[in-house]
Amino acid sequence: MPAATKDLIIEQGATFRLQLRWKDKDNNPYDLTNYTARMQIRRNYTSDHVIAEFTTENGKITLGGVAGTIVIEMAATETAQLKFSEGVYDLEMVAQDGFVTRLLQGKVTLAPEATRDVSP
């Protein structure tokens, strides 16, 4: 089955959080106990420059085991540092045996922040 397409908006200076649930064709959640996940944002699909990286290893993706949940998160302090307008991403799920499934893909837009911390 091909990856689903979902365009994302990251609000600069705000916490980014996306929660998903991976289900099979019978609407049952996948058991993600032995999975890892990875996602990168790049300016375009051929770019070598990674704008942001989310993985289970770096703690920016949390998998919910038998519930099949996937939570992708970036702190407000990190989104405040982002400097791009549009890009692309994909989310890959990696099974214990190394089988990779591209679950989600699409465009990413950064919504610029007007309110900023001006503390000295």
How confident is the model over 23-59, as pLDDT tens digits? Answer: 999 999 999 999 999 999 999 999 999 999 999 999 9
CB 119 within 8 A of CB 17: no
Q: What is the dihedral of CA 37, 35, 73, 84, to 10 degrees?
A: 0
pTM of the full structure: 0.92
Query: Pick from 64, 101, 104, 88: which is nearest to 10 by CA?
Result: 88
Q: Which helix (H) or strand (E) holds 76?
A: helix 76-79
Q: Looking at the domain assignment, is residue 61 inside a domain?
A: yes
Asked if residue 54 is part of any domain, the answer here is: yes
pLDDT value of position 120: 64
As a whole number of angstroms, the distance between CA 64 and CA 92 comes to: 15
Q: Is residue 116 part of a domain?
A: no
Is 118 contained in some domain? Answer: no
Query: Is pLDDT larger for residue 117 or for residue 109?
Result: 109
Q: Any idea what the CATH number is for the domain that residue 64 is in?
A: 2.60.40.10
- Residue range of the domain that includes 93: 4-111
Instruction: With respect to residue 85, please indicate whether it lies within any of the assigned structural domains.
Output: yes
Residue 105 lies in a domain: yes
- Residue 49's CB is within 10 A of a number of other CB atoms, namely 10
pLDDT in tens, 61-107: 999 999 999 999 999 999 999 999 999 999 999 999 999 999 999 99
* Within-domain flag for 119: no
16 belongs to a structural domain: yes
Q: Average pLDDT over the chain, rounded to whole?
A: 95
| Domains contained in the chain, number | 1
